[in-house]
Amino acid sequence: MRYIIYARKSSESEDRQVQSIDDQINFLKKLAKDEDVEIVKIFSESKSAKKPGREIFEEMLSFIQSKEASGILCWKLDRLARNPLDGGTIQWLLQEGVIEEIKTSDRNYLPDDNALISSVELGMANQYIRDLSKNVKRGIKSRLEKGIWPNLAPIGYLNKRISDKETSLIVDKEKSKYILKAFELYSLGSYSIKEVANILFDEGFRSRAGYKYNKSKLHKILSNPFYYGVMFMHDEYYAGNHKPIISKKLFDNVQKVLAGKHHSKRQKHFFAFRGFLYCDKCGCLLTATTKKGYNYYYCTNGKGICDQHKKYLREEEVEKILASPLEKLSFNPEMVEIMYQADKEKHGHKRNYKEKVLNSLSNQLNLVDSKQERLLDGYCSGKVLETAYERKNKQLGKEKADLEIQISKTKIKLSRESSTLERRKKLFLKACSAKKLFLKAKKEEQAKTLQNLLWNVTIQNQKMASVSFKPVFQLIANEPNLDDFDKLRRRRDLNPRGL
């Protein structure tokens, strides 16, 4: 009789304890030698058997059905099949004598054997896979509900091993900056996905294998809510405990562009200042065009009542116009440092007070815990009646909950004070160098700067008619003397959130 060897090992979790393919083949070769049988071909594949459709398995069946061999050597019967369709095929071919014998590591299967034996073993293999699938899905859902991502980290994140069974996600400092830039560029509505992919590739964005991310891959990235903190799996959304790379607002803006709801239309050329310039006479947006290698801006005359659309403004002149109001944000950086140190000293005294309050609250909480323990001891010993225990324990429980809330709020205040002070300093320093950075930046960075600082600028007769800053920067721009320390100190209540 001529035999074939069939070896299989899945890379999935159900085969973790199964011998490797090489180990199976070596064992089966030794078995063939001991049994003195002829091996005519070896079939091996790395694929799960929980569903039909294994190419090597189908090739092996065709080989046997063509009478090239009539016996099979395999490690266990579940290496051949773990689903009812493949299992039924094996049983039928064995029952019809097309397969004359199946030899495994612990027994032989013949056409005349009781069909229940192989049916039970193949049925157990199938049930094992079904139970495993349910358990895996249950485990995945449990992890998602806890805010833990159960799979390989998406691009922009890395898996960090905490223990043998637990991993967490950390931001990939190298690739997360490309993810952020992809969202920022595409949100402008002036780039196609292909153009964004080309820009990122030119700046060094590569796959793990070193290849360029194609349009479909980048589209998936731009559509994935994971990057602002929400996990989507099995048609359900879960709040993740990983650190977001982008804001929800930026994600929503990108979805509008993807859905074609963004007002900006993609242009052949990128115009950095579209969307910021308005006609002072009719209120319409200025659009842009390219002529003879130069970019020009002009009124769209959307209302049909304006003559300003006949006046074209070169992009270089627009850049100067937009840079001019940024001078209003410029003042002596040394004054910023003086103001920062003064506020830091002031907040230091407040922090010491809050730390003492936090310590006092913690001591009170420990005292309540101690009272609850003594009350429970008294109840268990019979010294405290049940009604008295329930009434006092309820009172202590409320007191404990109130203290825990106070402690939580105090900790949040302590954390916010330090971060707010640092954000305030960065806000002023950012304003100091706004014009300088704007003039040196690339066009896409200039557009981003304008998004952060300005609401809009109106143009009439090729000159700036008015300008309005974002609220925080408008307060700075309205201050006539930005080198006056006392006036700068009064700016300490500015709120830099959202910048």
List, as one string, the DSSP characters of 398-431: HHHHHHHHHHHHHHHHHHHHHHHHHHHHHHHHHH
Q: What pLDDT is stored for residue 443 in this prediction?
A: 80
Q: What pLDDT is stored for residue 332 in this prediction?
A: 56
Q: What pLDDT is stored for residue 347 in this prediction?
A: 63
Q: What pLDDT is stored for residue 109 in this prediction?
A: 87
- For strand 236-239 and strand 277-279, is the pairing parallel, antiparallel, or unpaired? unpaired
Q: Which amino acid is at 52?
A: P
Burial 322-336 (b: 16+ CB within 10 A, else e): beebbebbebeeebb
Q: What pLDDT is stored for residue 91 in this prediction?
A: 85
Q: What pLDDT is stored for residue 408 in this prediction?
A: 78
Sign of CA dihedral 43, 46, 52, 56: negative
Contact 369, 400 (CB under 8 A): yes
Residues (pLDDT < 50) of the chain are 13-14, 263-267, 482-483, 485, 488-489, 491-499
pTM exceeds 0.85 for this model: no
Cβ burial of 10 (10 Å; 0-12, 13-18, 19+) is middle
Q: What pLDDT is stored for residue 57 in this prediction?
A: 93
